Structure 1
């Protein structure tokens, strides 16, 4: 091709690739057409369907347009979006001259749409009636032919496209304003052998380059010039980016704005980034993520400053909105194993203006004798109950004590617990301090007391416990209800020593961890695994209240087995719980569409009579398949599980169904 044509095509591609806010072929079209962005995309236009054109009439020239020669469906949609003839076919021109102008305007637009999709040698031809457009004589003939159809029939308009070969992206170069190459990872400039030279591909590569520079601490990185050069002989395109990285910056002061009834110091205590820390988009995202943990807040917007401060740091602004403080809720449930239940709660999320939360929960349940498999066995064992159980609890949290990262937590409860194999009445309370080292890691220590009694097949245990619980928590996951990456770890140890008045004296340890790993960049396939452990020492099994022992089985444990029935079995074939626990799960969370997924899973574990797991006792296994429906607030979970090696002495259902919100772990 002559040099002038090559230069003209490269210049036009450069101009249209400069429209950064409009990706793909539509960016080229909008650039060259000069139309508003929403019109270029025409999200609610006619392109997803064919509609009948208007009927012939005397005051206009309705026409039927056909676009042929295109094999790529995406390209066809782009050409239809770009074509004035196609977009305005429902609004016929008044005369042949108007129809001709639409066709002449489409000539440039459709060629540029072809270029946007990498077809740089593509051509477009137009035919009105039997006249092929090209030159003044053909234009006049086309107008006459169109006018001859007035009020008789539709004007036949045909657009013939020769795609030509798909050009490839051959080379990408990135340099600074002085022409020196920038030091970037090779993956950002490496080009595959069959990577198409499409505008969307080039703009996506540009975005990745800017993201990399921002991740390296350059908040104002930008592309100042883009130079695509088309080589028709080799059917390839080379692109050179001239990039201004801008200064490397650290984080500056973080300003909190928008508080009215909430003390801003509470919000600041949840901001773990300090002035002078390196800037990165992840650091900005971390600020927003941690601030949203303040329950009194509704909306959080973190905005970067537009210029560095005198110290060369980037100011950060946190704009917040507060939510209504009071919260009231009620829910009902039913289980074929546990019977019906109802729960209500009231909460205030900013009680005294310091982000304090007070929540009161009331729960009432009924373990119906008609559907309870263990009811007859309990009666034979002398465990008399009318099946009614309930719990009243209050929880108070004072975050950011004196503006620090220390939180005060207090709680109290009273209730009756009725389970398949035991009955327990208890009351207690706890006071603790929690220190947040970061958004992911915290430690907690306090004092708790509990008094009550528990009755099961091993007898009645009256107890009084005063403990000193200590716990640690680490959570680096990206979503509380549907994590795709990261680790969750919780561990606690609570001594209940006799010298503090505990009877019996106990030591309780618990730990649970889960991990999540995405197999693909879009996190459509995730491997998830969970492991839980527990141990009680200091007393024999019969001396430990049944409500404190470990049980396995159920939707949050080993799916497929009845709730709290896996573990040691006592007289009358009633579960008695154990002094230790070991259980785990593995899942493959596979998205089929954006909203539907399947989850094959395997669960295993049991409770042990000894204070440490004794692997001479049988481990119970279950397998199943889950269905996930992904919503804006989290996935809706439906799991179907089958016990693989149930205890034949116990009546286990052959299959169990679980429905809830959020993943299993």
Structure 2
């Protein structure tokens, strides 16, 4: 086989139909690079593949799909080009949807207006839409879960179709048998030895005697996991063969070991040789407290040491209080700095997607490069100063999958004040926000977009901003085509000094090359400016390039090649990454 194509397929592209068949075109790249054996054409294989495509179309609502006579062209090298004519026909549309509950009631009689609207929003098969098998399968689960949350764990859902072949439409009838309404019985905890049972039971999102609810069970499991002391925490309803209205609950616990250690090492162009170790001790000070000791070394961080005590469920079930003393040395291209201090952080998880934080931060800073800025006063050239501030942050992330997303978006917002609420010599506020989105254009092709904006300003009329708080651009996770921190304001020696305003954007196309390899093509833009909250779109710098990624269990690892465009410099930069650039 040299090439396979389809004609007449208006609703499904060639690549989607090729996913359903076993016949596959052979190329030099597939044979020599990936070692794939060539596929040979024969009539029997073609007939089997035609049946697979027919079933695919019928599942998508095209019941009358037919196929014309295939066109087979063979070249002098005995390579076959196959063209398959497709006549899709009219799709079957859903004309109406009805619900019958317990053979007697309508949906309006058993669910409130709000619950019905929620169900309508979640279901995929709706009136005027094309009938699809997968939508019906998904909706069967969605409808059952709507009644699970109303206290009916025995709910059974079936459907029946009334097809009108003349009008190419179907009536969709749902039949729901709820069974008896049930309530939570007593909850039994098994498997725990170090964590007290009462500590686990405090995480329940229900009380004995409440109406049974799958939503409450899922929330309970989430709140137990937030304690961070378990390998497994499973909340189960003990349903027997008889239909009963009071259901006992069981929580199965498999505790994590009290001591654990993680460590790793690697190499990157920016941070050179790097290594870290993270030692964790569970049930420290309190029943569910966690203590971590972390140590890291790299070219950018000769040392980074911290202790972190975490207390989950501090005020509410899904939150954590952390105490975090630290010591750090940073060797950035524009400055070298020693920091010692501590933070007290309150983390609140509102949902699987939304997380927020508020922190009090104190640190002593010793800098051997002040990053002098025009307009700074003499007192701003001090190399030692203290900072006291409040930081607020939030992130919403619904991407899927997390490590290599093909859909969804991320919005993050962080702001920090220094010496404003607490009297000090260096009052300023800093804001940084970022938006990332991922769109699957077709199978194996993803468009990724990023926009990032930041600003920082003194509130006392002075100019100087601590160099470690300023913005820098350029590098593997910024504007590729420039080395780390090399884009933006520089002193007379060419050393980056950072700025008070940041603007960045990126667009990247990601192509799957087989199962493990990925090709990326990207363009980046951005710059840093000295003035606070001052963005000059006609002063942006641009770069473009390509990369290769290899899929691993911890995300894609690979290399990017980039160079500036529309710029006086055109030197190529090489960036090594674990994970995507964004």
Question: What TM-score do you get using the length of structure 2 for normalisation?
Answer: 0.65
Cα separation, partners in 2 of 1:188 and 1:360, compared to 1, 3 Å:
same
Q: For residues 616 and 334 of structure 1, what CA distance do their matches in structure 2 show?
A: 36
- Provide structure 1 residue ranges, at least 5 long, that are not aligned to the other structure: 1-48, 50-65, 80-116, 120-164, 196-200, 368-387
CA contact (8 A) 2:186 2:249 kept: yes
Change (3 A) 1:208 1:532: same
Following TM superposition, by how much is the alpha carbon of 1:475 offset from its aligned partner in structure 2, in angstroms?
A: 2.2
Change in 2 beyond 3 A, CA 1:530/1:628: farther
Distance 1:173 1:403 in 2: 42
Question: Residues 189-338 of structure 1 correspond to what in structure 2 (within 5 A)?
Answer: 205-215=136-146, 217=149, 220=153, 243-246=175-178, 257=189, 258-263=191-196, 292-303=225-236, 306=239, 319-338=252-271
User: Which string of whole-angstrom CA distances, capped at 9 and with x for unpartnered residues, describes residues 414-444 of structure 1?
Assistant: 2332222322223222223444555524341
Report the secondary structure of 2:125's partner residue: helix
Alpha-carbon distance, 1:236 to partner: 9.5
d(CA) in 1 for partners of 2:439, 2:572: 33
Matched, 1:490 2:413: yes
**Aligned to 2:314, which of 398, 401, 405?**
401
In structure 1, distance between residues paired with 2:439 and 2:238 = 34
Which residue of structure 1 aligns with residue 403 of structure 2? 481
Decide whether aligned partners of structure 1 residues 430 and 203 sit closer, same or farther in structure 2, where only a CA change above 3 A counts. closer
Kindly state the Cα deviation for residue 569 of structure 1 after the two structures are TM-superposed. 0.9
Separation of aligned partners in 1, 2:45 and 2:275 = 65
Report what 1:641 is aligned to. Answer: 562
Per-residue deviation at 1:570?
Answer: 0.4
* Structure 1 residue 658 corresponds to structure 2 residue 576: yes
SS of the residue aligned with 2:263? strand
* Aligned residue number for residue 29 of structure 2: none
Which residue is 1:130 aligned to?
none
SS of equivalent to 1:71: helix
Aligned counterpart for 2:481 among listed residues 560, 563, 571: 560
Q: Match of 2:47, SS?
A: coil
User: Contact 2:227/2:313 (CA < 8 Å) preserved in 1?
Assistant: no
Q: Counterparts of 2:504 and 2:210 in 1: how far apart (Å)?
A: 41
> 2:128, 2:427 → 1: CA distance?
64
1:471 shift after superposition: 0.6
TM-score computed with the length of structure 1 as normaliser: 0.58
Unaligned 5+ residue runs, structure 2?
1-36, 56-61, 65-87, 109-118, 373-379
- In the TM superposition, residue 563 of structure 1 has moved relative to its aligned partner by 0.9
Match of 1:452 among 336, 359, 366: 366
Task: Note the alpha carbon deviations across 1:567-591, whole angstroms, 9 max, x for none.
Answer: 1010211111123323233444555
For this pair of structures, how many residues does the alignment match? 484
User: Is the Cα contact below 8 Å between 1:256 and 1:320 reproduced in 2?
Assistant: no
Distance 1:262 1:306 in 2: 27
SS at match of 1:469: strand
Return the index of the structure with the highest Cα Rg: 1
- What's the RMSD between the two structures over aligned residues? 5.1
- Aligned 8 A contact 1:454 1:545 in 2: no
- Structure-1 separation of matches of 2:362 and 2:158: 65
Q: For 2:224 and 2:497, locate their aligned partners in 1 and report how far apart those are by CA, in whole Å.
A: 44
Greater share of strand residues, 1 or 2?
2
The answer to whether the 8 Å contact 2:93/2:169 transfers is yes
SS of equivalent to 2:142: helix
Secondary structure of the residue aligned to 1:572 is coil
Residue of structure 2 in register with 1:53 after alignment: none
Task: Give the 3 Å change call, closer, same or farther, for CA 647–335 of structure 1 in structure 2.
Answer: farther
The residue correspondences of 1:2-13 to structure 2 (distance < 5 A) are none
Cα pair 1:528 1:586 within 8 Å, conserved: yes
